Amino acid sequence: MRADLEIIQQWVKPGHHVLDLGCGDGTLLDFLKRERNASGFGLEINPDHITTCMNRGVSVIEQNLDTQGLDNFEDNSFDIVLMTQALQAVRRPDKVLDEMLRLGDEGIVTFPNFAHWRLRWGLALSGRMPESEALPYKWYNTPNIRLCTFKDFEALCRQKGIRIKSRRVVDGQHQNNWLARLWPNLLGEIAIYRITREKQQ
């Protein structure tokens, strides 16, 4: 089983109502439905992914976060809002984070770390935009327009009053790695964050 699915599953309670932003082919929602009896929806824009979701019985809505936003969803209408490997591809990640925590009590966010040593090394050595397994595109055609590091993300959360409840760092194959736990911003490739609003005083 993919380590990220296993980790995310632990944070979803049985019967939770879940929204998955950029749900891809519905693997995660399908998994949560079977393992956690979770209900909910996925949002997606890729036509092939949408078709796959429909065929496997995952409720999917064609909706573009950048152009359509999330206005059609009511406040606190979900237990958890997920966003795996999509935060770096939206125009305003900061606003999407606000929206996630408007719609749900908790958010789970995963994204690739732009400060991973291989990317740093590649840039330092070749002087060209880094490419990796997690970031396989050229600079001019990449959908990943808002790349950041773990430190960047955590700084944004602090600034926005978002509390990080947990953070897990894994490698490109979503495997746990003790080195990545030790020096996450240097050795971790993908982080899985569990976030919530700071309690109002």
Partner 1 sequence: MSDPIPVDSVGVVTPQTYHFETPIVLACEQALERYDLVVETYGELNADRSNAVLICHALSGNHHAAGYHSVDDRKPGWWDTCIGPGKPVDTNRFFVVSLNNLGGCHGSTGPNSTNPATGKPYGPDFPVITVGDWVKSQALLADRLGIDCWAAVVGGSLGGMQALQWSLDYPDRLKHAVAIASSPRLTAQNIAFNEVARQAITSDREFHDGRYYDFNTLPRRGLMLARMVGHITYLSDASMGEKFGRELRDQAYKFGYDAEFQVESYLRYQGERFSEVFDANTYLLMTRALDYFDPSYEFDGDLSKAMAKASCEFLVLSFSTDWRFTPARSEEMVNAMIAARRKVSYAEIDAPWGHDAFLIPTPRYTDIFTAYMDRVAREVGA
Contacts with partner 1, residue ranges (CB under 8 A): 17, 39, 41, 47, 50-63, 72-74, 77
Count each helix (H run) and each strand (E run) in the chain, helices first: 9, 7
Of 58 and 134, CB closest to partner 1: 58
Of 67 and 159, CB closest to partner 1: 67
Q: How far apart are CA 130 and CA 1, in angstroms?
A: 29
Q: What's the chain's Rg over C-alpha atoms?
A: 17
State how far the alpha carbon of 106 is from the alpha carbons of 30, 49, 129, 151, in Å: 20, 25, 34, 20
Of 64 and 166, CB closest to partner 1: 64
Shortest distance (Å) from residue 13 CB to partner 1: 16
Shortest distance (Å) from residue 47 CB to partner 1: 6
Shortest distance (Å) from residue 53 CB to partner 1: 7
Identify which of 161, 17, 105, 86 has the alpha carbon closest to the alpha carbon of residue 96: 86
Of 59 and 196, CB closest to partner 1: 59
Q: How far apart are CA 189 and CA 92, in angstroms?
A: 22
Shortest distance (Å) from residue 10 CB to partner 1: 24
